[in-house]
Amino acid sequence: MIIQVQNLVKRYGDVVAVDHLSFEVERGEIFGLLGPNGAGKTTTIRVIMDILKPDAGSVTVLGQSPGQMKGHVGYLPEERGLYRNLKVLDTLVYLAELKGVSRPAAQERATALLERIQLRKWGTRKVRDLSQGMQQRLQFAASLIHDPEVIFLDEPFQGLDPVNAERIKDFITDLYREGKTIVLSTHQMNRVEALCNRILLINRGRAVLYGHLAEIKREYAPHAVRVRAPQLPPDVSGVVEVAQDNGAFNLTLAEGADPQDVLRALLDRGVEVLAFEVAPVPLEEIFVATVSGEEA
Amino acid sequence: MDWHKVWVVTRHEYATNVRRVGFIIMTAIVPVLGIVVLVFGAFFAGQAQQLGAFFEKQFEVGDAPIGVVDASGYFSSIREEYQADFVPYESETMAVAALKAEEISKVLVIGEDYLETGRVVVVSLGSGFSAAAVSDSETVRAFLVDHLLEDAVDPTLRKRAATPPDVEPRVISSGGETQGEGPWGFAFTFIIPYFLAIFLVTTIFVSSGYLLQSVAEEKESRVIEIVVSSVRPVELMAGKVIGLGALGLTQVLVWVVSTAGFGSGAVALLAVAGATSIPMRVLVLGIVYYLLGYTLYAILMAGMGALGTTMRESQQLAGVFSFFAAVPYMFSGFLFANPNMAFARVLSFFPLTAPTMMLMRVPLAEVPWVDVAGSIVVLLLSIPAALWAGAKLFRVGLLIYGKRPTLKEIWLILRGRD
């Protein structure tokens, strides 16, 4: 395990921000840390980053206490900014040195990263001269400047235009392929679905969903199939309701009906099946249903 | 504490702030003033006496003669050497008519009872300032004394009575050494160290102000969260305090060197005798109080700077400390008269006023050793307490966005866990 959090508690006065939270992050995965605003995500990340001290519970990063592993962890915070009057290259070098990288190595790494985020020629310019999108790419690069093993990305797509958001998504995918462990906190569920292996959904500081994304989606999937075909006969065996949706049919299955039996029944009745799938459930629906259920 | 990270922050703070336009201007003030003094000195080289006469003349009563209406009988017959400057009139009406015609600059009306009362009415046109200046005019005083004593005393005695004493300040320490001799020596011994002390106090404000600005800017730009994910807040605070303290010392060094250099140059050019260096006691104690004062204020400023959500809020919060530090300034007039007065001594033992109060007292007099030792001990004890509170406020305050904490919340921060 790269990160182990056990019974973590963090309070602000009388408010319990994180309430006996436990989870683990495995090496080389993209782990989604999800939750509504004020759920305790950022507080949890800050404790793991050793910015805040826990009131109870334990946290280990790469088997050590968070304070000892700062040089191995990268962090793109939700509340982020840069030194506006500092030069682009100097900014990266300073932040790398703070992470314990030697000055020559920091300069080499900063130059390479600027090349990678297509800001090489801006290295000697001041940060304030960069566009918003460029600054966000630079912030992203700053979280990687010391070549960390684990990277925390808190709302990395926030405020990005589609082009820059896609660039960051590709960057995250590249890091995943390189074997980095990524903890991704975002409200953009489509990004989580596209990127994450496992997720933790927290609400009011407590874990409400935790596990492999595919398993969670399977668990929450409605008892339904989605069929693309020119037309469907009436009274298909095992189907209780048929609804048309965007050129396809959503078939609600009877209790105990097997989707494979329904497919066989359709083919037996001569239906030209162009596409057939167990109806997926968007993560967003699971998120809303779970959080609403918690708050009801 | 990771001292390498402290060093990285120190170097960053120094390098970033040493290029600030405000810092460069502030640092250049003393050398530029020194150059002005040198140029001025070169221009008037060997003419110090004329220089004095020049200034003296600026305070004289004016070029036009003065009308005299005398009822006492002592000034009716004006002596030859005063006839160019004083014109007798028989009546006040005639004198005033001459004044209106601008034949004379003012009228002295001397009553019958002048000998008993000394009362002289001065009539002038327009500003009352020139009439008031008559009382300090050496020419008028000499005119009055010379005529009163006319034939009664020896001319040398009469001349001495008519002109004020030529005061030459000479101050000795309790050990008996002469500290300042002659007006220029006095200036170099007391005034220059005093201004150096004022500069030191200013540097404390400027450096701790930069610290406040640095913290507030990092917080306002939101870069702080990235920084504290890499260094512990106490390391960040230490780096900032050391880096900006070094920046302040650089400023002081430039000032001291230029003061000494240009001071010597000015003395040589003006060809006057006098001390040319800042007394070692003032220099050493000045640096000690500068370091202690800066450290105390910087820690407090860092803590308060972290609490504000914007630069302006941080400055408002830190204002309370600036007020205390400025209290000795408010009493500088009294301090000049008596640097060891009870009130000044009391404020020398209060941590927030001690550095500035002692910096202002030390150049002006020999401060009792108990005040020096006591104030240093108070500051040495206050710094760890400020560090404890400042570090706590700094650590928690850094992550408070959007809303300034209330006094109750600040108290809870100080009592609670990070």
pLDDT digits (tens, 9 = 90+) for B191-247: 666 676 677 777 777 777 788 888 888 877 778 888 888 888 888 888 988 888 888
Is there a single domain that holds both residue A191 and residue A243? no
User: What is the number of other CB atoms lying within 10 angstroms of the CB of residue A264?
Assistant: 13
Give the residue from B79, B73, B68 showing the smallest Cα distance to B106: B68
Is there a single domain that holds both residue B345 and residue B226? yes
Sign of the Cα pseudo-torsion (B1, B7, B8, B13, in order): positive
Q: Does A35 touch chain B (CB under 8 A)?
A: no
Confirm whether A292 is domain-assigned. no
Model pLDDT, residue B52:
54
User: What is the number of other CB atoms lying within 10 angstroms of the CB of residue B213?
Assistant: 19
Q: Which residues of A touch B223 (CB under 8 A)?
A: 80-83
Is there a single domain that holds both residue A153 and residue A184? yes
- Final residue in a domain of this structure, among A217, A242, A270: A217
B238 Cα to chain A: minimum distance (Å): 14
Considering only CB atoms, A77 lies closest to which of B5, B8, B225, namely B225
Is there a single domain that holds both residue A132 and residue A235? no
Model pLDDT, residue B275:
44
| pLDDT tens digits along B312-326 | 777 777 777 778 877
Determine, for residues B16 and A97 on separate chains, whether the beta-carbon distance falls below 8 Å: no
- Cα–Cα dist A1/A24, whole Å: 7
Determine, for residues B222 and A86 on separate chains, whether the beta-carbon distance falls below 8 Å: no
Instruction: Give the three-class secondary structure for B113.
Output: coil
- Cα–Cα dist A53/B300, whole Å: 23
Is there a single domain that holds both residue B186 and residue B264? yes
Considering only CB atoms, A51 lies closest to which of B5, B16, B228, namely B228
Place of tokens 């300042």: B180
Phi, psi of B7 (to 5 degrees): -65, -40
Q: Is residue B79 scored above 70 in pLDDT?
A: yes
Place of tokens 């009553």: B111
Place of tokens 């990263």: A113
- Cα–Cα dist A197/B384, whole Å: 49
Is there a single domain that holds both residue B205 and residue B238? yes
Is there a single domain that holds both residue A194 and residue A236? no
Give chain A's domain count.
2
Is there a single domain that holds both residue A28 and residue A163? yes
Residues in chain B, total:
418
Determine, for residues B232 and A94 on separate chains, whether the beta-carbon distance falls below 8 Å: no
Chain B residues at the A interface, defined by Cβ less than 8 Å, are: 4-5, 8-9, 12, 16, 218, 221-223, 225-232, 399, 401, 412, 416-418
Strand partners, A250: A226, A243
- Half-sphere CA count of B56, side-chain side, radius 13 A: 10
Mutate: best of B1, B218, B229, B411, partner A, most A CBs <10 A: B229
Is there a single domain that holds both residue B149 and residue B223? no
Confirm whether B61 is domain-assigned. no
Confirm whether A196 is domain-assigned. yes
Is there a single domain that holds both residue B100 and residue B192? no
Q: Which residues of A touch B4 (CB under 8 A)?
A: 100
Q: Are B373 and B341 in contact (CB under 8 A)?
A: no
Confirm whether B173 is domain-assigned. no
Confirm whether A64 is domain-assigned. yes
Q: Compute the average pLDDT of residues B336-346.
A: 82
Is there a single domain that holds both residue B95 and residue B241? no
Q: Are B363 and B193 in contact (CB under 8 A)?
A: yes
- Cα–Cα dist B168/B158, whole Å: 22
Residues B238/B241/B247/B248 CA torsion (nearest 10 deg): -150
Which residues form the domain of A195?
Answer: 3-217
Give chain B's domain count.
2
Is there a single domain that holds both residue A139 and residue A252? no
Residue A142's closest chain B neighbor by CA?
B226
Q: Which residues of B touch A97 (CB under 8 A)?
A: 8
Edge to edge, what strands does the sheet with A275-278 contain? A239-245, A248-253, A224-228, A275-278
A295 Cα to chain B: minimum distance (Å): 27
| pLDDT tens digits along B29-64 | 877 877 776 677 666 655 555 555 555 554 454 567
- Final residue in a domain of this structure, among B133, B162, B191: B162
Is there a single domain that holds both residue B154 and residue B300? no
**Inter-chain contacts counted by CB atoms under 8 A, chains A and B:** 64
| pLDDT tens digits along B280-308 | 777 788 888 888 888 888 888 887 777 77
Determine, for residues B417 and A55 on separate chains, whether the beta-carbon distance falls below 8 Å: yes
CATH number of the CATH domain containing A268? 3.30.70
Confirm whether B28 is domain-assigned. yes
Q: Does A41 touch chain B (CB under 8 A)?
A: no
Residues in chain A, total:
296
Is there a single domain that holds both residue A257 and residue A191? no
- Cα–Cα dist A124/A240, whole Å: 67
| pLDDT tens digits along B121-142 | 888 876 666 666 676 677 888 8
**pTM of model > 0.80:** no
- Half-sphere CA count of B125, side-chain side, radius 13 A: 16
Model pLDDT, residue A4:
93
Is there a single domain that holds both residue B308 and residue B227? yes
Q: Are B32 and B52 in contact (CB under 8 A)?
A: no
- Final residue in a domain of this structure, among A178, A202, A217: A217
Confirm whether B93 is domain-assigned. yes
Phi, psi of A161 (to 5 degrees): -75, 165
- Degrees (nearest 5) of the Cα angle B270, B271, B272? 95
More confident residue, A246 or B66: B66
Q: Is residue B274 scored above 50 in pLDDT?
A: no
A17 exposure class (CB count in 10 Å sphere: 0-12, 13-18, 19+): buried
Residues A113/A117/A122/A126 CA torsion (nearest 10 deg): -80
Give the residue from B290, B318, B296, B302 showing the smallest Cα distance to B201: B290
Is there a single domain that holds both residue A37 and residue A128? yes
Sign of the Cα pseudo-torsion (B70, B75, B80, B85, in order): negative
Helix axes B155-162, B138-149, angle to 10 degrees: 150
Is there a single domain that holds both residue B10 and residue B89? no
Confirm whether B60 is domain-assigned. no
What are the tokens at B76?
A: 């009716």
Give B346's DSSP letter.
Answer: H
Determine, for residues A77 and B228 on separate chains, whether the beta-carbon distance falls below 8 Å: no
Residue B7's closest chain A neighbor by CA?
A98
Is there a single domain that holds both residue A61 and residue A150? yes
Is there a single domain that holds both residue B118 and residue B200? no
Residues A286/A289/A294/A296 CA torsion (nearest 10 deg): 180
Helix (DSSP H) and strand (DSSP E) numbers for chain B: 19, 6
ipTM beyond cut 0.90: no
CATH number of the CATH domain containing B100? 3.40.190
Is there a single domain that holds both residue A93 and residue A232? no
Confirm whether A289 is domain-assigned. no
What are the tokens at A188?
A: 């953009």
Confirm whether A286 is domain-assigned. no
Could you please report the per-residue DSSP string of A16-63?
EEEEEEEEEE-TT-EEEEE-STTSSHHHHHHHHTTSS--SEEEEEETT
Confirm whether A181 is domain-assigned. yes
A104 exposure class (CB count in 10 Å sphere: 0-12, 13-18, 19+): exposed
Is there a single domain that holds both residue A144 and residue A119? yes
Determine, for residues B225 and A52 on separate chains, whether the beta-carbon distance falls below 8 Å: no
B404 Cα to chain A: minimum distance (Å): 15
For B347-404, strand residue ranges (E) read none
Mutate: best of B225, B236, B237, partner A, most A CBs <10 A: B225
Determine, for residues A83 and B228 on separate chains, whether the beta-carbon distance falls below 8 Å: no
CATH number of the CATH domain containing A154? 3.40.50.300
Confirm whether B59 is domain-assigned. no
Phi, psi of A82 (to 5 degrees): -140, 170
- Final residue in a domain of this structure, among B162, B197, B219: B162
Is there a single domain that holds both residue B141 and residue B221? no
Is there a single domain that holds both residue A165 and residue A254? no
Which residues form the domain of B398?
Answer: 3-44+181-415
Each residue's pLDDT tens digit in chain A (296 positions)? 889 999 999 987 778 889 999 999 999 999 999 988 888 998 999 999 888 888 899 999 998 888 888 889 999 988 778 888 889 999 999 999 999 899 999 999 999 999 988 888 998 999 989 888 888 889 989 999 999 999 999 988 887 888 888 888 998 999 999 999 999 998 888 888 888 999 999 988 898 889 998 888 878 777 788 899 988 888 888 888 888 887 889 888 888 888 889 999 999 988 899 999 887 777 888 888 788 776 65
Pairing verdict, β A181-185 and A206-212:
unpaired
Contacts of B321 (CB under 8 A, 6+ apart): B297, B300, B301, B304, B352
Determine, for residues A84 and B222 on separate chains, whether the beta-carbon distance falls below 8 Å: no
Instruction: Give the three-class secondary structure for A275.
Output: strand
What are the tokens at A84?
A: 């506006």
Confirm whether B267 is domain-assigned. yes
Helix H or strand E encompassing A107:
helix A103-116
Confirm whether A226 is domain-assigned. yes
Is there a single domain that holds both residue B325 and residue B260? yes
Determine, for residues A52 and B227 on separate chains, whether the beta-carbon distance falls below 8 Å: no
Confirm whether B51 is domain-assigned. no
Determine, for residues A77 and B16 on separate chains, whether the beta-carbon distance falls below 8 Å: no
Confirm whether A287 is domain-assigned. no
Determine, for residues B399 and A55 on separate chains, whether the beta-carbon distance falls below 8 Å: no
